[in-house]
């Protein structure tokens, strides 16, 4: 473990500050992010790797205490769909190395979390494979990230019960700390339409002692604001958090950035969630190191 662990960071009085978007930040800096590879394009060129490492370093210098690896689209399934299946192990190695390099820009307590994302499209719960298939594929990805030395597993943007549960079981088997972040829709459901309360109960029952936090992500601030107070009341005793996106999905390039994205306004919005029970705060698609720097200043104040 590098520096502290997640339990220690969450034991402090103030909320934990996460990083922001990687995929949309790569696009903003000129790296292709066309589908199906999306952010994984960066792992296949020297320019992409340099840019990725710089983004992680910028988040660490901005005050992020967790850097999430650029492994959102590095499952064997995703790489095979792009004709890069033979590069599966090396792509994940490079993603972890870039995050670890970025974490070295912190004071030593910045953790590297291995991202575990939906096997298919995060906005298409109808495309989620059967639960048994999800378990096989998430086990493979979690085991590789654990072998590569991540500090914890970061399950994120899960839009359906069966995949969230499969990823939870895979993370539990790794022996690492892990968090689970769900992709919701108002008023209190997963994107699949399944009730958040029931899904959270099943996740907690399946997770065992390794579950460190429950979050929601990848929805607009207004949507998360409507959902979070009720969500934060679920599974008492488990820390809760959230990270919103700015902008909107684009089928061709993956994401369309907003015309305006005021970091101070976003930080103010996020810090207001602390009064509703938020213990982890960060940014999803469309957010930048400037957003995280503003958030860290607001949290420290």
- Measure Cα distances from 158 to 109, 162, 189, 297 in Å: 27, 9, 12, 29
255 pLDDT higher than 70: no
Residue 4: its pLDDT value, please?
A: 76
208 pLDDT higher than 60: yes
Peptide bond into 239 cis (omega under 30): no
259 pLDDT higher than 90: no
Torsion 188-278-26-82 (CA) sign: negative
Identify the band that residue 173 occupies on the pLDDT scale cut at 50, 70 and 90: very high
Residue 290: its pLDDT value, please?
A: 96
Strands 111-116 and 189-190: what pairing?
Answer: unpaired
Residue 256: its pLDDT value, please?
A: 59
Which two tokens mark 159? 């839009």
Residue 1: its pLDDT value, please?
A: 39
Structural domains of the chain sorted by starting position, each given as residue range(s) with its CATH number in brackets: 6-300 (3.20.20.330)
Query: Using one digit for the tens of pLDDT, what is the confidence trace for 46-66?
Result: 999 999 999 999 999 999 999
Which two tokens mark 103? 């974490």
Taking residues 59-75, report their average pLDDT: 98
Angle at Cα 59 formed by Cα 55 and Cα 60, nearest 5°?
115
**Rg, Å, the chain Cα set:** 17
Query: Using one digit for the tens of pLDDT, what is the confidence trace for 264-277?
Result: 999 999 999 999 99
How many angstroms separate the CA atoms of 253 and 35, rounded?
6
79 pLDDT higher than 80: yes
Neighbours of 11 (CB within 10 A): 11
The mean pLDDT value of the chain amounts to 94
């Amino acid at each position: 473990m590098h520096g502290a662990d997640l339990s220690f960071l969450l034991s402090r009085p103030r909320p934990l500050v996460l990083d922001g978007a990687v995929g949309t930040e790569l696009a903003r800096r000129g790296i292709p992010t066309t589908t199906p590879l999306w952010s994984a394009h960066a792992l296949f060129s020297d320019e992409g790797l340099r840019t990725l490492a710089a983004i992680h370093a910028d988040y660490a210098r901005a005050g992020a205490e967790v850097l999430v690896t650029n492994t959102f689209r590095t499952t064997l399934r995703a790489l095979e769909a792009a004709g890069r299946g033979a590069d599966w192990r090396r792509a994940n190695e490079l993603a972890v190395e870039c995050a670890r390099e970025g974490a070295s820009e912190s004071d030593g307590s910045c953790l590297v979390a291995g991202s575990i994302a939906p096997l298919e499209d995060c906005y298409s719960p109808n495309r989620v494979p059967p639960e048994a298939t999800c378990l096989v594929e998430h086990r493979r990805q979690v085991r590789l990230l654990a072998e590569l030395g991540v500090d914890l597993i970061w399950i994120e943007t899960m839009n359906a019960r069966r995949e969230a549960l499969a990823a939870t079981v895979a993370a539990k088997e790794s022996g690492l700390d892990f968090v689970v972040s769900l992709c919701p829709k108002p008023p209190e459901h997963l994107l699949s339409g399944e009730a958040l309360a029931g899904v959270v109960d099943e996740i907690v029952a399946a997770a065992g002692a390794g579950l460190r936090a429950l979050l929601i992500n990848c929805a607009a601030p207004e949507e998360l604001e409507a959902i979070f107070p009720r969500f934060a009341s679920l599974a008492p005793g488990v820390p809760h958090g959230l990270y919103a996106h700015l902008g909107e999905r684009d089928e061709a390039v993956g994401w369309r950035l907003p015309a305006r994205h005021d970091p101070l306004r976003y930080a103010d919005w996020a810090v207001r969630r602390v009064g509703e029970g938020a213990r982890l705060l960060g940014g999803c698609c469309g957010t930048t190191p400037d957003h995280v720097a503003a958030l860290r200043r607001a949290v420290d104040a």
